Structure 1
Amino acid sequence: MYYLPTSIIFILFAILTFIYTIKNREEKKNKGLFVNELLVGLLFFIAGALFPFLLQSHSISIPISHLNFMWLTTSLFLIIELTIWSFMILYGYLRHKKKNNLSPQEEYVQFCRTVKGNWNDELKNELGRKFLHIFTVIIIIFFWHIGSLLEDLGILGVFGLENYSFSFWMIITVGYAFVIMFQTADLIRLNYFYTLPKWAKIWYCSAMRERELDTFVASTPLVLSFVPFVFFPFPVFVSVALITTVADAIACLVGKKFGKKKFNPTSDKTIEGFIAGSFSTFLIVIFSFLIYYPLLPISLLKIIIMAAISSLIFFLTDKFIERISDNITNPFLVGFSMWIILII
């Protein structure tokens, strides 16, 4: 039952996200944000519901005492994080009440002006944003190889663990803490901005896109979309993560640097960017399955088919699905298509 605190926390965040979105549904519908925000809430619910089954998904022989320890550690980590947030929010509230120079509405309007003034759609700005996304996959690969090393040294075996259970425990704990941090900050920013810590305001001003001012930042759904793929073999999981972060970053950066031809006048996406993203998707799948071949030994032909279909889906998703964030559609469509090909 030590998994309950984490599951409850994520389901509560799902409820808070739904309440916020439905409460502001007219504004969200007018700005084309309603479906995306409902999906973010759904992803939180899925993450909470799946948490009790993630750690043992590849290691059914883990003793329950070990699972309890891992569940408890993750839960305590999130509880400590939320406790720190509570103190920061309280401090922000008391500080604003004492200062009281601007009303909460005026302060947020001023913040929006700052973000709009700071933001420009140039390569340098995108590099910083995309690095944050790529950092998530760096964490995944880092913990996987730490787990592999500890397993090879026999250290994990002493504790009755192996690479999958240990690595995914670390990845899940860090990933869950990451999304709780961002969603807490976003819900505060959108509802009680004046209580937001100063460091968070500075970060938002430096990294936030203008179009994110009235909604959640893209990093949250990006990480949450990886959760269902913990059940899949690691080559699929890491391919999904790399495509969602690296291939998307390459498409964006190539489009901004070299893009000249747009698919249509209303879009800022270019043909050059689409080609770069699709080609990098193809290479990512090929190399991921070859590098981690011992974990999932399948034929080269099947790997090439998966790479080609993933590349096509990446292209079609970016081209035709505009209302839903590609940080949600890309991992789900690409990941499940790879899994279907695997089981055929």
Structure 2
Amino acid sequence: MESLHITNDTCDVISRNVTVDNTTVTVSSFSPLMCGLYGMYPSWRPVIIAILVCYVLMSVLGNGCLAAVIASRESMQEPGNYFLAALAVTDMFSCLLYVPLSIHNTAHGMFINGGLCKVQTFLGAIAVLLSHSFLMCQWACRYTHIICPLEYEKKLARPRIAAAMAGCVIIAVLPPFVGLVRTGTVEVVTYRGATDMEVSPTTIYPCLPGDVEGSVTGTLCLVMMIISSIFASLIYREAQRHKRNLTALTLNMENKLKASKTLGIVLLFYWMTWFPSLVLYFLSKVEAMSTLSVALDIFQLVVLANTFIDALVYAFRYAIYREASIQMFRDVRNATRDLILDYIEIISE
């Protein structure tokens, strides 16, 4: 692996005093192009771009198939799956918000700053809170299914599901919106020694909310992960209770427990990817960029895997998702073929 022979200072905020007309001011400079995998390991740039392109394809196709099968099959339209479809759409949105810009910046040696940085910060905070809240609501639905098997349709009626989804949207929008009203602008996270530098720290890593809004967003995500884990433990306890009487374990209950186990795998991946990145996010406010820039990029690539990992998990564990995906690919292939043939026929005439 080839690396640039540069000193750590080139990836840090460099401040120096400049005197003009007997007035001394401090001028700071910081170049994200000297940081992260792009600056430290330039030979890896094509590999990074290839990985990111694969991320886009897997997220759009995987989540598209997941949402399509829930929308098109009446048997899949139960309360927990409404939140699953919403999570799939949110994952696609997150991927398209982050990955194309990372590909462009890594390919052209650029980074995000200014107004675009603020837009990504605002929308990114909404997306991450939406994904965690939809996952938490899925757990609440699974727990209700198992604890109240005869009354869950009443407890999880569509008006209540709609109200819960509206609540998720409000929770997601509130922190960045309050920050915008409170300060009059979207505050971007800054790094040790940086002042008013609204830029992404590397070509891969995005702009994220800073100060109060960033702390509130991260704390809310952590709280929702803990609540989801509590629901998972309660469902596990209920499953153990049913195992004591196997004759009472109906096929319907087995399916519900399988769905909960699948969701547990998704939750485990969330813990494995989001929590280390959350810790790194808070550390980035106090540590020098030369210390964290490569780790930020690596964990960003790991976190972005969450934009398609749930679709892969469901496709692996359920034949209905695999069949729907295969059918969707066939439909796209046939539509593309017909379009090409029609175009050739028009040209030939």
TM-score, structure 1 length as denominator?
A: 0.31
TM-score, structure 2 length as denominator?
A: 0.30
Q: Could you say which structure has the higher strand fraction? A: 2
